[in-house]
């Protein structure tokens, strides 16, 4: 069967980067993505940032045809930003990365997806190691919260949209993977870290963001497990009734 040489090649690997108010950090990850050759598409989703995040993304996309910028007019949360990026690609393999990563290298991006492409895993969890002690500890203590992942894109069909609201996406994704019996593999990301919210958003705003994040994570866990185990919902309701 002959192929049409003018027909664009279907993308195999798409990187999705959700970002909100990351004008101070976004150039680092965009530079690394520009130097990686594992990705066919790089989908940059600005989640309604009031700063120059979207503008910086647009500038980088002029020098890399793989980069596509999508902008939410208002802030919709990380989960919705990822779903927006996913809707913009037909790639069967997805890499998800946070927008504020430090000391990431192109080969580490490839390491996240290679086990998936080679059918040794269905999803990878990228965990920081040897970057900064506070981010290392958080990753290894709660690996299900990492935003650095490689996966088969069809898993996203099973992720609860309700549970994914705000910062609940990683929890909802982890529970969906367990429900569908996806094989999971840990990929250490040596030397990689990202600044805490208190560092680059200001102390008070960062503390509020962290509290909001943990609240949404707990909410996501309840919603996603309720959907996976419907009897838990009835049990919970009976316990909480006055």
> Which residue ranges of the chain lie beneath pLDDT 50?
1-5, 198, 203-204, 207, 229-242
For residue 11, the model assigns a pLDDT of: 78
Domain presence at residue 2: no
Tell how strand 123-129 and strand 67-72 pair up: unpaired
Domain presence at residue 207: yes
For residue 135, the model assigns a pLDDT of: 80
Domain presence at residue 1: no
For residue 238, the model assigns a pLDDT of: 37
Domain presence at residue 229: yes
Domain presence at residue 6: no
Residue 197, domain CATH: 3.90.550.10
Domain presence at residue 133: yes
Q: How far apart are CA 229 and CA 231, in angstroms?
A: 6
Domain presence at residue 87: yes
Per residue in 97-143, pLDDT tens? 999 999 999 999 999 999 999 999 999 999 999 877 878 787 788 88
The burial class, CB within 10 Å (0-12 / 13-18 / 19+), for 78 is: buried
**In which domain, by residue range, is 118 found?**
13-240
Burial 15-40 (b: 16+ CB within 10 A, else e): bbbbbbbbbbbbebbbebbbebebbb
Domain presence at residue 108: yes
Tally the domains of the chain: 1
What is the model's pTM?
Answer: 0.81
């Amino acid at each position: 069967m002959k192929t049409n040489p003018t027909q664009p090649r279907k993308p195999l690997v798409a990187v999705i980067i959700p970002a909100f108010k990351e004008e101070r950090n976004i150039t680092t990850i965009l530079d690394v993505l520009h130097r990686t050759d594992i990705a066919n598409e790089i989908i940059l989703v600005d989640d309604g940032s009031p700063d120059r995040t979207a503008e910086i993304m647009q500038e980088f996309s002029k020098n890399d045809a793989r980069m596509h910028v999508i902008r939410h007019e208002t802030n919709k949360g990380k989960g919705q930003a990822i779903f927006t990026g996913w809707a913009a690609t037909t790639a069967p393999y997805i890499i998800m990365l946070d927008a504020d990563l430090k000391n990431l290298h192109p080969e580490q991006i490839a390491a996240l997806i290679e086990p998936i492409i080679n059918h040794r895993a269905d999803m990878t969890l990228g965990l920081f190691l040897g970057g900064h002690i506070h981010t290392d500890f958080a990753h290894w203590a709660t690996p299900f919260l990492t935003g650095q992942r490689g996966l088969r894109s069809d898993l996203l069909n099973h992720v609860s949209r309700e549970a994914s609201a705000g910062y609940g996406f990683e929890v909802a994704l982890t529970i969906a993977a367990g429900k569908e019996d996806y094989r999971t593999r840990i990929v250490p990301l040596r030397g990689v870290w990202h600044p805490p919210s208190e560092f680059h958003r200001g102390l008070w705003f960062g503390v509020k963001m962290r509290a909001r994040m943990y609240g949404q994570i707990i909410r996501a866990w309840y919603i996603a497990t309720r959907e996976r185990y419907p009897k838990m919902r009835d049990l919970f309701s009976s316990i909480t009734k006055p």
